[in-house]
Amino acid sequence: MNKMNFLKTATTTLVATSALLAVSSAHANWKGWNIHVPDYPVSIGMDKFTSLVEANTDIKAKTFHNGVLGNQSDAIKQVQLGALSFAVFNLGPIGPIVPATNVVSLPFVFKDMDHMHRVMDGPFGDKLSAAMEEKGLVGLAWYDSGARSFYNSVKPITEVADMKGLKFRVMGNPIFVEMVEALGGNATPMAFSEVFQSLKTGVIDGAENNWPSYESTSHFEVASYYSLSQHLIIPECLCMSKITWDGLSDDDKAAVKSAARESAVLQREEWAKRALKSRKIVEAGGVKFNQIPNKAAFQDAMGMVYKKAVEKSPILEDYINAIKAVD
């Protein structure tokens, strides 16, 4: 083939491929995974995201709430494979797949929610997104998930010694097992959907979560001691499958990204409102909540957890320092 013919063929192929891609994007039907009930802040954010995507592109997008598409660890794999197009994931269970993200699963790594926002909304958040993208997850925006505290059906936790002998459900990441063990308790990784029944039947004594999840799952009805340890502040990502993302035109990418950002603004507002509302609901429902006077003792017990995490992924040392360096 001479040079001219080659160029012609190449151009024709390119045009045909782009046309195909454009067609596939025009008829795209995105499925999104969500673990939460439809009126949860994450769900409201995701619904905003899909309505903006549908308004500003030719893509059809629908979120399946209530975890009907399976548990979080399986859903992460489905998004990586492109079987699901998008999802909101807590970064906790992403750690085993993208070790760099383990830094946000280290207990007490953030001072408070505002500190977490300053870190994640700056260059550090972009660094974590880049690490996720290498594993097929494109981070579009960061959602809020509050601070997680311990709750159980046996007694209030006021000091580290109270954790001894209690069995807590944790999310799927060895860091959380180590965290509970470092405090003297026992830990069982378990899917979110199984926690209520396990609390009710006494398979576990407790779990840990933020006010809205403690309330929306009714865990407060079967584990009524909520102790404000606030040991984890883990952001969540509105993530897309890289396979889906790579098939988008530049215009669609811009529209999708801006839809995600706009949805995150709403999600954070809704989060703040729901955290207050959920706390009121559970207190009215008879929850006995207590402050922990010496939180520093819980923090001090985390030395081994940090040491092991850094041994496994040495990059975490720099990441921990980078987080601490953000005021």
User: Segment near ligand GTR (CB under 6 A), from 22-30, 73-81, 207-215, 278-286?
Assistant: 207-215
CB-nearer residue toward ligand GTR: 129 or 216: 216
Return the DSSP state at 119.
H
Question: Is the Cβ of residue 90 or residue 198 nearer to ligand GTR in the bound state?
Answer: 90
The DSSP bridge partners found for residue 87 are 33, 239
Minimum CB distance to ligand GTR smaller for 31 or for 274 = 274
User: Considering the rule CB under 6 A, would residue 102 count as an interface residue with ligand GTR?
Assistant: no
Q: List the one residue out of 163, 145, 290, 149 whose CA is nearest residue 230.
A: 149
Site for ligand GTR in 153-172 (CB under 6 A): 171
Binding-residue total with ligand GTR (CB under 6 A): 11
180, 277 in Cβ contact below 8 A? no
Question: What does R_g of the chain's alpha carbons equal in angstroms?
Answer: 22
Distance CA 174, CA 97 (A): 12
Give residue for tokens 């004594």: 205
Closer to ligand GTR by CB, 160 or 171: give it: 171
Please report, as residue ranges, which positions from 114 to 133 form the binding site for ligand GTR (by CB under 6 A). none
- Residue 66: count of CB within 10 angstroms of its CB: 13
Under a CB-based contact definition with an 8 Å cutoff, are residues 181 and 164 in contact? no
By the rule CB under 6 A, 199 interacts with ligand GTR? no
**Amino acid at the residue 290:** N
- The span of 25-33, 102-110, 153-161, 205-213 binding ligand GTR (CB under 6 A) equals 205-213
Contact between 147 and ligand GTR by CB under 6 A: the answer reads no
Q: Does 149 bind ligand GTR (CB under 6 A)?
A: no
Q: Does 35 bind ligand GTR (CB under 6 A)?
A: yes
CA distance readout (Å), 303 to 59, 106, 299, 314: 48, 10, 8, 15
The answer to the question of residue 84 lying near ligand GTR (CB under 6 A) is: no
State yes or no: residue 145 binds ligand GTR (CB under 6 A).
Answer: yes
Buried b (16+ CB within 10 A) or exposed e, 282-308: beeeebebeebeeeeebeebbeebbee
**Does residue 90 bind ligand GTR (CB under 6 A)?**
yes
- Rounded to a whole number of angstroms, the minimum distance from the CB of residue 91 to ligand GTR is 9
Is residue 43 near ligand GTR by the rule CB under 6 A? no
Q: Closest approach of Cβ 212 to ligand GTR, in Å?
A: 7
Say if strands 288-291 and 225-232 run parallel, antiparallel, or are unpaired.
parallel
Residues within the interface to ligand GTR (CB under 6 A): 35, 72, 90, 92, 145, 171, 192, 209-210, 213, 236
